[in-house]
Amino acid sequence: MLTLNETHEAGLKSWVESANEHDCRFPIQNLPYAVYKPADGDDFRVGVAIGRQILDLRALAALQPFCGAALQALDACQGDSLNALMALSAEHWSALRLSLSRALRAGSAHQAKLQPLLSEHATALFSLPAQIGDYTDFYISLHHATAVGSLFRPDNPLLPNYKWVPIGYHGRASSINVSGSDFLRPLGQTRPLPDAPTPSFGPSQRLDYELELGIFVGSGNAQGRRIDMDEAESHVFGLCILNDWSARDLQAWEYQPLGPFLAKNFASTISPWVVTLEALAPFRVPFSRAADDPQPMPYLASEHNSAAGAIDIQLEVALSTRKSRAARHEPHVLARSNFKEAYWSIAQLITHHTVNGCNLRPGDLLGTGTLSGPAAGQEGSLLETTRGGKQCVSLPWGEDRYFLEDYDRVVMHAYCHKEGYPSIGFGDCAATVLPAG
């Protein structure tokens, strides 16, 4: 169980002045990791965000400023991915976070050494934060599952297993890209009308986004060794934003009987920043189920999960178009939702994923599935917002959308906020749809 410690103190300030600004999402209480190339650099390296700056951890490691577990963790940050750091223990991650927090605080004796190791966030180029070996996408929003199920099965929107087992499928790791990586509209087979005698082939006409979070696995487990609920979170390094783009017309034709395939594997986008699970400790909230719902089976239950298994993370998705950008309009927010509404917790996903002996590895990514809320304006996909393409979205600059069109740009944000505490942000997750190749 992650507990609050000195790194979470609300009053902490940094000698990096931009980290102390009121609207800063990367205060010293956050310290998320990314893989980046500074404007004057020639290769990618691991960095940590502090305000509008990035601290070069490869250069910091060369100075040998820390000791013990923190030194070992910092040494693991000398490559071009976070995998080596992720492979260490939660104790190593916590020790490095504590040492970085102390080094970056106002009045730190390390300021003179660290100041030259900072570069501007705005001019950096980002890469994927880790080499992602495997990717599993779950389906943990009851509101999303109910809304989508009602489009196809109005009398029985949820299948019998939904409230008993975390539903997921294995996705395509090779087509996950970092924010800013645009992609081509996918081609494929579709069946335009239910009674059409043959399918057609061409660009997807019902391209959609999915507002999700990504969960990066840290230390893994040996094949055959299950991870139980009490230790599940010690295997989680951190979270990012995830947009799992979906071609709904391809999906409708292909998904039976084996589930998603080409409708999902052409592109997924994640934010470059990974916010550690420890940084999110102040935003923990109880995890509970409605009294008349099936309660989690014993292997998916624990006292800690009930007391603080959910996390209050606010999410939003916004859209800009070629027309809106030309007129310099701000992206239009389409929906807002919250991770705390999810039907399954992070610990439950880890435990269930390994209950059959499946081995997870450092850098593996788990998607939450679309995170929707119960009310209008909280839909995590256009499929829900437009009720399956039957109700258009009117944009403030005079355009309408049922699904995404070429050159539409989707931007997702996630952040944690509570009274009296600095806001913790995840950065941007953005990409533009390009015409089919």
Same domain assignment for residues 113 and 220 = no
- Do 405 and 260 lie in one domain? The reply is yes
Tokens of 113: 């050494």
Tokens matching residue 139? 């389906």
Give the CATH number of the domain where residue 227 resides. 3.90.850.10
Q: Residue 313, Cβ neighbours under 10 Å: how many?
A: 23
Report the alpha-carbon distance of residue 320 to residue 395 in Å, rounded. Answer: 9
Whether 258 and 394 share a structural domain: yes
Q: Binding site membership for Mg(2+): which residues?
A: 244, 264, 268
Whether 5 maps to a domain, the answer reads no
- 250 touches 262 (CB < 8 A): yes
* % of the chain beyond a pLDDT of 90: 96
**How far is 358 from 354, CA to CA, in rounded Å?**
5
pLDDT at 347 over 80: yes
91-127 pLDDT, tens digit per residue, is 999 999 999 999 999 999 999 999 999 999 999 999 9
**Shared domain check, 228 and 208:** yes
What is residue 1's predicted lDDT score, i.e. its pLDDT?
58
Residue 328's domain comprises 135-434
Q: What's the mean pLDDT when you consider all of the chain?
A: 97
Catalytic residue among 144, 352, 353, 413: 144
Beta strand 400-401 with 246-247 is: unpaired
Average pLDDT value for residue range 399-420 = 98
State pLDDT tens for residues 10-60.
999 999 999 999 999 999 999 999 999 999 999 999 999 999 999 999 999
Let me know whether 208 and 329 are in one domain: yes
Phi-psi region of 115 (alpha: psi -120 to 50; beta: other; left: phi over 0): alpha
Q: Which residues are annotated as a binding site for substrate?
A: 139, 153, 251, 255, 370
Least confident residue range of 135-144, 192-201, 233-242, 402-411:
192-201
Q: pLDDT for 255-314, tens place per residue? A: 989 999 999 999 999 999 999 999 999 999 999 999 999 999 999 999 999 999 999 999
Residue 4 in any domain: the answer is no
Summarize the confidence of residues 223-252 as an average pLDDT.
98
Residue 7 forms part of a structural domain: no
pLDDT of residue 57: 98
Domain boundary among 127, 144, 166: 127
Whether residue 25 is contained in a domain is answered as yes
Q: Are 252 and 367 members of one domain?
A: yes
Residues 236, 92, single domain; the answer is no
Of 99, 127, 155, which closes a domain?
Answer: 127
Same domain, 88 and 111: yes
Q: 34 - beta bridge partners? A: 47
8 is annotated as an active-site residue: no
Alpha-carbon distances, residue 38 vs 47, 56, 58, 118 (angstroms): 10, 9, 12, 9
Same domain, 47 and 141: no
Domain count for the chain, please give it. 2
Task: Determine the pLDDT at residue 152.
Answer: 84
The pLDDT score that the predictor gives to residue 106 is 98
- Residue recorded with tokens 């809320």: 373
> How high is the pLDDT of residue 193?
84
pLDDT at position 194 is 80
Instruction: For 344-374, give one letter per residue: b (16+ CB within 10 A) or e.
Output: bbbbbbbbbbbeeebebbbbbbbbbbbbbbe
Exposed (0-12), middle (13-18) or buried (19+): which is 225, by Cβ within 10 Å? exposed
Q: Rounded distance, CA 174 to CA 244, Å?
A: 13
CATH code, domain carrying 50: 2.30.30.230
**Given this model, what pLDDT does residue 120 score?**
97
Question: Does any domain span residue 3?
Answer: no
